């Protein structure tokens, strides 16, 4: 009994001491500048997911580094509309009234939130608010941002074909949903364009276009990757989140054994993720969506007082919203130059990349 | 009654100590990240309870946990470890959603039919592991884990194939208002919260389960099988039948949780997710001492934690990951309550020893 009392007393001391320290720190004079309070709710997955959440957050952090923004992200307990709306409410009640949400899963939640919190601003990336039946309504306080994934996939396809010259490609997708499909279709068009116009011969077989069905199963991605490489595929374009990481791991293991295999990354520049030895990476290039730029631009627009509320924006080649990374150590400079030419053709409209399946595979 | 009271008192003490230690450990985490734990917890509870809407949302968050907690607790009482509440919840939710999206009936009848469908779906997902256990002695832990993934992939296939929302990629069509456990008067009463009829079903079911376990022959037999399977068999009880029955009821309970989650808290069922509520149910059951009433209150406590966490994160500099960690620590302390029990036992024995020594002296004196 005595011992327990001593322990309790000690604990009380420690707590009390720490709390009083804390108070002293808080008393220090605080410089208050009127900062825009920017909140973000993460999609399923973590803030460092090398994809959506991370891209959005990096855009917010960039604005924060300029000192104009104080930022906060919340991680919902589940992935239902109720979970999302609750976290949006938490941000709102805490004064974060500029709220960025990444991913189509927020569509119905933002639809509910934009009327519930009319004095808040919402940026919905890769989605459009609707009540669940596609009667989309972009409120005056909301901006929807889409990306031209097909253009990004197209450019990655051209780069891949040019660098390899000859060979076989594969595609691993996550869920079979529009952004992923558009990456795939664009990639196929890019290969075909290079084969027709740039004297390459990189083919993709229907059996090597696979949607795994999740964005999370790393092991399944590794198996799919191994299967494709075993069948003679030289390069796999992965638009599959965690599943893609599995394929990257497989490629890294093979590259260490001097096999000549490549991965084309997605969403962000995944070069660093594919490093297997020194600074050698199995990432040939990446089909990027500049999510961070989109988030940053919207924050800047709000600060400057011209938030494009009610609009649906598309990030594509014309506003540098998509493309391959600025630096690609695995691409020859001649290839990079050629891709830059093609980029300009897409930008000017000379080349039109279709966002539809048409007669493409899957 | 006199014998029972101290026991209940003790269980309560143990659990309150577990909660307190969990909160204290969480406080240490908050301090180590440079935050004031008192402010942190104040915001946690404010976030869960500061207005009607938030109270409603807390109860709504707790509702599926009550069901999964009951599910795990019920199986525990028969000596079975049900890790399959997630899968059972999915199966029940899928069946209820299927009915809700296809059948046209007046609301009360439709909800009743959905409830039945959830019971059948979840029950089936519990029945199979129970059956395998009874007949072939396949360990239920393994069987229920496998059933989780079967449910996961069944949902993954069935929802896009038959119930896909036209422009919703990872969800089923939205459940129509007529098939939702949400009712306007309740939503309005609590300022637009997600509280729904599921919560009242949960309270009712908790009481029913309490009655079954405490007051019926069936409950007695189920518990007997849990205490000592062979003794129960020797006493002429049909242990195998009871194992199957217990798992089926456990599955059905989690199945109703699926109804409350997907047709109450949420408005559609999602693919690609093995719901956390199933695993939280294990913690709820442990911390609730495997008793229906304990589960009810523990689930409400978990509801407060889950619901208030976001506001705590928003108002302080405590990162969301720490919020999750604090909940995990609480669960950890709930699981290690056996240590607390031992510690209490030890203290108790010492205390009793001392008293008996003292009274012994008195007796001696008296004797003289």
In this complex, the residue of B270, B272, B311 whose CB is nearest that of residue A94 is: B311
Residue scoring higher pLDDT (A12 or A290): A290
- Considering chain A, what percentage of its residues have pLDDT values greater than 90? 67
In chain A, the percentage of residues whose pLDDT exceeds 70 is 91
Token pair for residue B194? Answer: 């997600």
Question: Tens of pLDDT along A42-71?
Answer: 887 778 777 788 889 999 999 999 888 999
Chain A positions touching B351 (Cβ under 8 A) are: 1
B310 with B328, same domain?
A: no
Q: What is the average pLDDT score of chain B?
A: 87
Transcribe A95-135 into DSSP letters: T--EEEEESGGGHHHHHHHHHHSTTSEEEEET----SSSS-
B267 touching chain A per CB within 8 A? yes
- Confidence (pLDDT) at A15: 47
Matching residue, tokens 């050629």: A338
Q: Is the pLDDT of residue A21 over 60?
A: no
User: Is residue B211 assigned to a domain?
Assistant: yes
Whether residues B272 and A73 touch (CB distance < 8 A) is answered with: no
Q: Is residue A309 scored above 70 in pLDDT?
A: yes
Q: How many residues does chain A have?
A: 362
- Say whether both A195 and A219 belong to one domain: yes
Question: What pLDDT score was predicted for residue B172?
Answer: 87
Do B277 and B328 lie in one domain? The reply is no
Do B165 and B275 share a structural domain?
Answer: yes
Q: Which residue has the higher pLDDT, B261 or B344?
A: B261
Which of A147, A175, A201 is the endpoint of a domain?
Answer: A147
Q: Dig out the tokens for B52 from the structure.
A: 């009607």
A185 and A59 part of one domain: no
At residue A30 the predicted structure's pLDDT band, cuts being 50, 70 and 90, is very low
| Mean pLDDT, residues A203-208 taken together | 94
Q: Note whether B201 and B237 are same-domain residues.
A: yes
Interface residue of B269, B310, B311, B344 to substitute, partner A, most A CBs within 10 Å: B310
Q: Tell me, yes or no, whether A192 and A117 share the same domain.
A: no
Domain contains B255? yes
Residues A111 and A195 in one domain: no
Q: Judge if A44 and A141 occupy the same domain.
A: yes
Both B202 and B106 in one domain: the answer is: yes
Instruction: Summarize pLDDT for B160-173 with one digit per residue, the tens.
Output: 889 987 766 678 88
Give residue B278's pLDDT band: very low, low, confident or very high (50, 70, 90): very high
**What pLDDT score does A33 carry?**
58
8 Å CB contact between A55 and A291: yes
* Residue with more model confidence, B7 or B291: B291
Radius of gyration of chain A (CA): 24
* The pLDDT value given to residue A4: 53
* Residue-level pLDDT at A1: 46
Give me the pLDDT at residue A237, please: 96
**Does residue B61 have a pLDDT over 60?**
yes
pLDDT band at B348 (very low <50, low <70, confident <90, very high): confident
Size of interface A-B (CB pairs under 8 A): 103
Burial of A298 (0-12, 13-18, 19+ CB in 10 A): buried
Above pLDDT 90, what percent of chain B? Answer: 52
At B355, is the pLDDT very low, low, confident or very high (cuts 50, 70, 90)? low
pLDDT band, very low/low/confident/very high, at A316 (cuts 50, 70, 90): very high
Indicate yes or no: CB of B192 within 8 angstroms of CB of A213: no
- What is the rounded (10 degree) CA torsion for B104, B108, B110, B111? 150
Statement to judge: residues B325 and B312 lie in one domain: no
Are A195 and A135 part of one and the same domain? no
- What six digits make up the tokens of A159? 């780069």
| A311 domain-assigned | no
Residues of B in contact with A144 (CB under 8 A): none
> Looking at the predicted structure, is the pLDDT value of residue B314 above 60?
yes
Residue A95 maps to a domain = yes
Kindly report, residue by residue over B218-232, the tens digit of the pLDDT. 999 999 988 888 888
Instruction: Verify whether the Cβ–Cβ distance B24 to A215 is below 8 Å.
Output: no
Q: What confidence category does residue A27 fall into, taking pLDDT thresholds of 50, 70 and 90? A: very low
- Is 90 exceeded by the pLDDT of residue B368? no
Q: Residue A105 is nearest to which of B170, B314, B315, comparing CB atoms? A: B170
Residue owning tokens 């596609």: A134
Cross-chain Cβ contact A79/B309 below 8 Å: no
Q: Do A50 and A71 fall within a single domain? A: yes
Cβ-contact A99, A92 below 8 angstroms: yes
Under an 8 A CB cutoff, do B36 and A91 touch? no
> Is B174 within 8 Å of A178 when comparing Cβ atoms?
no
Q: What is the CATH number of the domain that holds B306?
A: 1.10.3470
Nearest CA in chain B to A130: B167
The answer to whether the CB atoms of B272 and A178 lie below 8 A apart is no
Q: Which of A97, A131, A147 is the last residue of a domain?
A: A147
Indicate whether A80 and A132 sit together in one domain: yes
- How many domains does chain A divide into? 2
| Secondary structure class of A215 (helix, strand, coil) | coil
Q: If DSSP codes are grouped into helix, strand and coil, which group holds residue B260?
A: helix
Query: Could you tell me which residue, B161 or A171, shows the higher pLDDT?
Result: A171
Nearest to A317 by CA among A351, A283, A358, A267: A351
Chain A positions touching B34 (Cβ under 8 A) are: 22
Q: What is the CATH number of the domain that holds A59?
A: 3.40.50.2300
Residue B43: both structure tokens together: 């915001």
Mean pLDDT for the stretch of residues A239-245: 89
Sign of torsion over alpha carbons A294, A298, A303, A305: positive
Q: Do B320 and A132 touch (CB under 8 A)?
A: no
Domain total for chain B?
2
**Does one domain contain both B219 and B354?**
no
Residues 6 or more apart whose Cβ sits within 8 Å of residue A305: none
- A214 CB neighbours in chain B (<8 A) are 272
A79 and A169, same domain (yes or no): no
Mark whether B176 and B312 lie in a shared domain: yes
pLDDT score at B8: 65
A72 against B361, higher pLDDT: A72
Measured CA angle at B62 (ends B292, B331), to 5 deg: 75
Return the minimum-mean-pLDDT range out of B178-187, B263-272, B347-356: B347-356
Q: How many CB atoms lie within 10 A of CB A8?
A: 10
Whether residue A267 sits in one domain with residue A167: yes
User: What is residue B82's three-state secondary structure?
Assistant: coil
Residues A256 and A131 in one domain: no
* A43 in Cβ contact with A102 (< 8 Å): yes
pLDDT at B346: 81
Dist CA A149 CA A322 (whole Å): 7
Clarify whether residues B199 and B277 are in a common domain.
Answer: yes
Q: Which of B27, B169, B314 sits opposite A74 (nearest CB)?
A: B314
ipTM of the complex: 0.84
Is B311 within the bounds of a domain? yes
Q: Is the pLDDT at A2 greater than 70, yes or no?
A: no
pLDDT at A32: 53
Rounded to whole angstroms, the Cα distance separating A50 from A273 reads: 9
pTM: 0.82
Instruction: Give domain status of residue B204, yes or no.
Output: yes
pLDDT, tens only, A110-151: 999 999 999 999 999 988 998 877 788 899 999 999 999 999
B58 close to B275: Cβ distance less than 8 angstroms: no
Q: Is B31 in Cβ contact with A133 (below 8 Å)?
A: no
Residue B280 lies in a domain: yes
Q: How far lies A16's CA from each of A28, A307, A353, B182, B190, in Å? A: 19, 47, 65, 46, 38
Pair (A167, A97) in one structural domain: no
* Domain boundaries, position B109: 52-316
Interchain proximity A132–B310, CB inside 8 Å? no
Question: Domain check: are B345 and B260 in the same one?
Answer: no
Q: Tokens standing for A109? A: 């939640």
> Whole domain around residue A246: which residue ranges?
149-288+332-348
Check whether residue B267 and residue B358 sit in a common domain.
no
Point out the domain boundary residue: A147, A167, A202.
A147
Which of the two residues, B29 and B103, has the higher pLDDT score? B103
**Confidence band for B359, pLDDT divided at 50, 70 and 90:** low
What would the pLDDT profile of B131-142 be if each residue is shown by its tens digit? Answer: 999 999 999 999
Please check whether residue A301 lies inside any domain of the structure: no
Task: Collect all residues with Cβ–Cβ distance below 8 Å to B353 and sequence separation of at least 6.
Answer: none
């Amino acid at each position: 009994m005595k011992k327990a009392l001593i322990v309790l007393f000690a604990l009380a001391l420690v707590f009390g001491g720490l709390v009083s320290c804390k108070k002293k720190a808080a008393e220090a004079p605080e410089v208050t500048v009127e900062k825009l309070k920017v909140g973000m709710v993460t999609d399923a997955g973590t803030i460092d997911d090398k994809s959506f959440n991370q891209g959005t957050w990096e855009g917010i952090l960039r604005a924060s580094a300029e000192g104009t923004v104080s930022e906060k992200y919340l991680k919902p307990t589940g992935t239902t509309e109720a979970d999302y709306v609750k976290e949006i409410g938490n941000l709102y009640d805490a004064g974060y009234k500029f709220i960025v949400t990444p991913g189509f899963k927020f569509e119905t939640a933002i639809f509910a939130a934009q009327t519930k919190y009319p004095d808040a601003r919402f940026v919905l990336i890769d989605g459009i608010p609707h009540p669940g039946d596609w009667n989309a309504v972009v409120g005056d306080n909301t901006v929807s941002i889409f990306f031209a994934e097909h253009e990004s996939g197209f450019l990655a396809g051209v780069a891949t074909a040019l660098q390899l010259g000859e060979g076989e490609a594969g595609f691993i997708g996550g869920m079979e949903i529009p952004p992923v499909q558009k990456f795939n279709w664009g990639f196929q068009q890019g290969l075909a364009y290079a084969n027709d116009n740039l004297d390459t011969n990189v083919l993709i077989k229907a059996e090597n276009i696979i949607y795994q069905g999740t964005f999370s199963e790393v092991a399944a991605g590794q198996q799919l990757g191994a299967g494709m490489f075993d069948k003679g595929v030289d390069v796999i374009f992965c638009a599959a989140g965690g599943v893609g990481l599995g394929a990257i791991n497989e490629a890294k293991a093979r590259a260490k054994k001097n096999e000549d295999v490549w991965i084309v990354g997605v969403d962000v520049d995944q070069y660093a993720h594919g490093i297997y030895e020194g600074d050698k990476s199995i990432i040939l290039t990446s089909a990027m969506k500049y999510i961070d730029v989109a988030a940053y631009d919207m924050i800047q627009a709000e600060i400057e007082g011209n938030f494009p509320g009610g609009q649906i924006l598309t990030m594509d080649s014309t506003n540098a919203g998509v493309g391959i990374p600025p630096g690609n150590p695995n691409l020859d400079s001649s290839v990079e130059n050629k891709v830059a030419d093609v980029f300009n053709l897409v930008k000017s409209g000379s080349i039109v990349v279709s966002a539809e399946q048409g007669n493409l595979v899957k | 009654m006199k014998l029972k009271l101290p026991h209940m008192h003790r269980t309560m003490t143990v659990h309150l100590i577990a909660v307190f230690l969990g909160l204290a450990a969480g406080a240490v985490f908050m301090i180590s990240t440079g935050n004031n734990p008192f402010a942190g917890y104040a915001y946690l509870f404010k976030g869960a309870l500061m207005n009607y809407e938030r109270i409603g949302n807390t109860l709504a968050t707790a509702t599926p946990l009550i069901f999964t907690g009951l599910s795990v607790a019920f199986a525990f009482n028969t000596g079975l470890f049900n890790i399959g509440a997630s899968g059972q919840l999915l199966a029940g939710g899928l069946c209820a959603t299927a009915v809700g999206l296809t059948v046209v009936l007046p609301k009360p009848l439709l909800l009743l039919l959905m409830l039945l469908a959830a019971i059948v779906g979840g029950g089936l997902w519990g029945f199979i592991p129970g059956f395998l256990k009874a007949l072939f002695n396949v360990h239920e832990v393994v069987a229920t884990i496998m059933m989780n993934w079967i449910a996961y992939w069944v949902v993954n296939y069935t929802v896009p194939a038959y119930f896909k929302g036209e422009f919703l990629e990872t969800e089923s069509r939205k459940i129509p208002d007529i098939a939702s456990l949400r009712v306007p008067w309740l939503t309005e009463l609590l300022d637009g919260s997600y509280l729904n009829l599921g919560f009242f079903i949960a309270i009712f079911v908790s009481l029913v389960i309490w009655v079954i376990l405490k007051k019926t022959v069936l409950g007695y037999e189920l518990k007997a099988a849990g205490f000592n399977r062979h003794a129960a068999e020797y006493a002429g009880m049909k242990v195998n039948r009871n194992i199957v029955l217990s798992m089926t009821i456990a599955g059905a309970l989690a199945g109703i949780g699926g109804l409350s989650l997907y047709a109450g808290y949420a408005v559609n069922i999602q693919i690609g997710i093995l719901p956390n509520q199933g695993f939280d149910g294990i913690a709820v059951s442990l911390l609730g001492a495997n008793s229906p009433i304990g589960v009810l209150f523990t689930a409400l406590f978990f509801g407060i934690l889950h619901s208030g966490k976001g506001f705590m994160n928003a108002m302080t500099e405590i990162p969301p990951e720490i919020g999750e960690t604090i909940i995990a620590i609480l669960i950890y302390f709930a699981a290690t309550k056996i240590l607390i029990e031992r510690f209490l036992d030890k203290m108790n024995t010492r205390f009793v020893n001392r008293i008996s020594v003292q009274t012994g002296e008195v007796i001696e004196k008296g004797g003289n």
